[in-house]
Chains A and B, each alone.
Chain A
């Protein structure tokens, strides 16, 4: 069943999966804390694409659930980004680096 725009569900899912993978790759591969954070945000947005796309295609009456879920993901992502950036700011003030490879006081 295609949506109103004519794009089938699989199209949205491929975009979301690609976003998720790019985000995951960025988060795991980069060492700059801000870049890791951006990767995580991209992953969360992939989730939102998934949820909103599914909400259009699941049986009628169940669509609103996905959209509300997406709203909550949005709000939580903002709170998470705010806390994370604040932490990065504190670390960069004290250590002059936000490269997680160099943030390694503890070992073992």
Chain B
């Protein structure tokens, strides 16, 4: 049970710290309400509209292509971990073939104008 006690301590500490800091800060500072302070932070851009909108379908196409390429990269990790134990020339050649195949997919998506904003 000892290990679960650690988790419990972490959970309590994790909740107590932000709650405590925010409460402490709120009780010490003066209050000057301003609409600009309430606005969400958009990396310096001026926010507009509501977040609960229907996103443009173009985003999904990008997301799908990103998803596939991102997950394919998972095969690079076992290769990298085992690289020193493999015969290097062949192992390197294999991963080059793998990446070239991904590049063909990328090239196709690019030339089919999937990557340009509609």
Q: Which residues in A have some Cβ–Cβ distance to B below 8 Å?
A: 5-6, 68, 71, 74-75, 78-79, 81-82, 85-86, 89, 93
Contact = CB atoms under 8 A, between A and B. Distances in A.
Interface string B60-75: 1100110110111011
B64 A75 contact: no
A35 to B, nearest CB: 16
B78 interface: yes
Nearest to B1: A6
* Max count, chain A CB within 10 A of own CB: residue among B61, B65, B71: B71
A93 B57 contact: yes
A6 B74 CA distance: 28
B60 A89 contact: yes
Interface in B37-86: 57, 60-61, 64-65, 67-68, 70-72, 74-75, 78
A78 to B, nearest CB: 4
**Binding site secondary structure of chain B:** helix
A78 B3 contact: no
28 contacts: A5-B3, A6-B3, A71-B74, A71-B75, A71-B78, A74-B74, A75-B71, A75-B72, A75-B74, A78-B67, A78-B68, A78-B70, A78-B71, A79-B68, A79-B71, A81-B67, A82-B64, A82-B65, A82-B67, A82-B68, A85-B60, A85-B64, A86-B61, A86-B64, A89-B57, A89-B60, A89-B61, A93-B57
A79 B3 CA distance: 38
Interface residues of B, number: 14
B113 to A, nearest CB: 16
**Binding site secondary structure of chain A:** helix
Nearest to B73: A75
B116 to A, nearest CB: 17
Contacts of A85: 60, 64
